[in-house]
Amino acid sequence: MKKLTSFVVLLVATTLVDVARSGHEFPVYPSYYPHVIGIETMSPDRAAGLLSQGRIQAYIGAAPGLGGAAPESIRAIESLGTLVVVRINPDSPLAKDRTGACALAGTVVRALAGRQAAFTFHPYPVTPYDGDYLYHADLADAARARLATEPTEAAASTPRHLQVRASTALAKSLVPENWRARGPAWDVAIEEVDAADLIASSTLATNGWIAPPWLRSGWFRTALLLAPSVNDSDLQARVHAVLLRLESGAYAGAVERNQLERALVSMLAASCRTRVVGYTVKREYISNDYSAGIENIGFDSIVGLASPIFIRTAKLKDFPWNGALSIGIDSRPIAAWNPIAGFTDPFGRLMWYAIGDPALFPSPNGAGWMLNRISDVR
């Protein structure tokens, strides 16, 4: 009986050897998951100390006060921060029609072009951080060149007492002293719009899916940001028609789709009532320490560390395949905790990314999607 058993085992082994193929990789890769993921609300000052001590591995939110240059054990992760926009007051006597609004916006945008040390001057809504920027790069270059060659008559005709409102520290630093609004009246507002929050406002995560499919496309974020300010009925109709075709797939192929995307962004960028003039870079921090830190970091070019790819790639150095991942975040949970109508605040979204296990999640540097848990590499 023992001889028969040995023969069967040997036969099976021989059969396996016959079908083996060269190479040492598995055809699929499982996601990495720590067996404990802790998320805690904390201030940036507290986070700085815990990062330095290796007691948390990442901090999501405002930059922690590291007291000068960050130590070698702490690494900065960069992603798109805010979009700097110029918004025209529809009630301003200087912007009663499109010509006046465009002249007013052009004057302010040209003035900001010379103050770009505080932000990256980029007068086009799709940025280099967007995965579909390649399809818009020539239009972005043309927008910058057009500002440099436009006639200056509009600037010369701008009233001396232009009232510009600024709501953030960066915006206030960009407004010339003689333009600052001193009272409730204002002609132009310089504002910052958080790119991650803008995307989150239209994100639906339920039943293992993150939607809509075009969530990460630059044209979609441009529509969210600029379409509400379009007040021309003809332009509104054209914008709506292009949006409908993009969202319903009513195009012949990739070339026609890209043409529609470019046309949509160009129409919205030319409306003048709200114009994108640039962007800021967001920096979040991780512990790079050995052995209390993490490595193999994946992060999203738009939302940074608050993304599904980060949870699934961060590997603790002292525990190669599992362990306890500790994350600090600067916002408290305020939304309802349920998978249908809740998890809409930053804390809840991060927690849901850890436990929701979607079938697909956004590609970290692209406008498309990638498979979760397995990836066919054959």
| Range list of H helices, 41-187 | 44-53, 98-113, 137-149, 153-156, 169-174
Sign of the alpha-carbon torsion through 220, 223, 225, 228? negative
CB-based contacts of 185, cutoff 8 Å, min separation 6: 163
Q: How many CB atoms lie within 10 A of CB 354?
A: 18
In whole angstroms, what separates CA 89 from the centre of its chain? 27
For 123, counting Cβ atoms within 10 Å of its Cβ (0-12 exposed, 13-18 middle, 19+ buried), the class is buried
Pairing mode of beta strands 164-166, 188-194? parallel
Asked whether the bond before 326 is cis by omega within 30 degrees of 0, the reply is no
Domain boundaries defined on the chain: 27-78+284-371
Identify whether the C-beta of residue 110 lies closer than 8 Å to the C-beta of residue 278: no
Q: What pLDDT does 71 receive?
A: 80
Alpha-carbon gap, residue 326 to 39, rounded angstroms: 6
Q: How many CB atoms lie within 10 A of CB 349?
A: 22
Print pLDDT tens along the chain (378 aa). Answer: 444 444 333 333 333 334 334 344 444 444 456 778 899 999 998 998 899 888 999 999 887 776 666 788 899 999 999 999 999 999 999 888 888 899 899 999 999 987 777 899 999 999 999 999 999 999 999 999 988 776 554 444 555 578 999 989 999 999 988 899 988 899 999 999 999 999 988 887 776 678 899 998 999 999 999 999 998 899 999 999 999 999 999 999 999 999 999 999 999 998 889 999 999 999 999 999 988 899 888 999 999 999 989 988 888 887 766 678 999 999 999 888 776 667 888 998 898 888 877 788 888 988 888 887 666 666
Alpha-carbon gap, residue 127 to 208, rounded angstroms: 29
